[in-house]
Amino acid sequence: MSLSKPDIIFHDLQLVPYKETWDYQEKLFAELMRQKLAGVAAFPGHLVFCEHPPVFTLGKSGSTGNLLIDEPGLAKRGIAFYRINRGGDITFHGPGQIVGYPIVDLEQLKLGIKTYIEMLEEAVIRLLKIYGITAGRLPGATGVWLDPDSPSSARKICAIGVRASRFITMHGFAFNVNTDLSYYRFIHPCGFVDKGVTSMAKELEGEQDMEKVKLLLRACLYETLGVEEHQANG
């Protein structure tokens, strides 16, 4: 292993309730923060992959007006809702979506928050290119988009919302692979009222191998962030 690259511990939690994973992130974040404040420089970061049962999450600056369904409607459909401490507005998480939570020290990676977000976007763009899907960025909006230059057909395939404190990150991205897109009719995704959403399955007209996509996406993330992986159980 190259000693020049920071270590990252990979966790694949599979399908897990949102609040359980949020608590897990907070635990990892607090551990890294304690070590950093104690002056320990060489500690690993974490990359958590998971899927969630259906849930809407609203960022700290988001508007509840972008949630288009009331509490009884959420309960009837088995959809959870959380207001959380990341940036960004409202988004959906559900089965068939790769949710990624990098918990890393940007100072170790020598990155600012804006560049870090761009690198998350770049990793997804590179992954999609492997599958023959051309993706890019939409000016003024985080995330990864298809046809971003076309107002009538621009659609988001990956949402990004992060939190950073003393340059340690949490939260991350939600990448639609085989996601049931019908849930998005209950929100204005990321606060947009005139933009669509999509998935790999929709674009490629067929369900994709999640394990293969996860493996390739991890490789793209390691490459863009310049990290090495350590395995961890859960």
Q: pLDDT tens, 23-32?
A: 999 999 999 9
Interatomic CA distance for residues 72 and 205, integer angstroms: 34
Question: In this structure, what token pair is assigned to residue 168?
Answer: 């340690």
CA atoms within 13 Å, Cβ hemisphere of 145: 21
Q: How far is CA 173 from the centre of its chain?
A: 1
Beta bridge partners of 15: 51
Interatomic CA distance for residues 22 and 79, integer angstroms: 16
CATH class assigned to 12-231:
alpha beta
Query: What does the pLDDT read at residue 119?
Result: 97
State the Cα angle at 92 between 89 and 97, rounded to 5°. Answer: 130
Which band of pLDDT confidence, cut at 50, 70 and 90, is reported for residue 232?
Answer: low
Query: Tens of pLDDT along 47-103?
Result: 999 999 999 999 888 888 989 999 999 999 999 999 998 888 899 999 999 999 999
Query: What does the pLDDT read at residue 88?
Result: 83
Which band of pLDDT confidence, cut at 50, 70 and 90, is reported for residue 234?
Answer: very low
Which band of pLDDT confidence, cut at 50, 70 and 90, is reported for residue 145?
Answer: very high
Residue indicated by tokens 């918990």: 103
Contacts of residue 106, defined as CB under 8 A and 6 or more positions apart, other chains included, come to 112, 113, 116, 164, 167, 168, 169
**Contact (CB, 8 A) for 120 and 113:** no
Indicate if the pLDDT at residue 135 is higher than 60.
yes
Interatomic CA distance for residues 166 and 34, integer angstroms: 11
Average pLDDT (130-137) is: 98
Q: What is the pTM of this model?
A: 0.93
Q: Where are the domains of the chain?
A: 12-231
Return the DSSP state at 132. T
Average pLDDT (204-233) is: 90
Mean pLDDT of the chain: 91
From the candidates 50, 158, 190, 220, give the one annotated as an active-site residue.
Answer: 190
Which band of pLDDT confidence, cut at 50, 70 and 90, is reported for residue 191?
Answer: low
Instruction: Name the pairing type of β-strands 55-58 and 80-83.
Output: parallel
**Amino acid identity, position 111:** L
50 labelled catalytic: no
State the Cα angle at 132 between 129 and 133, rounded to 5°. Answer: 70
**Contact (CB, 8 A) for 58 and 188:** no
Question: In this structure, what token pair is assigned to residue 65?
Answer: 């007006």
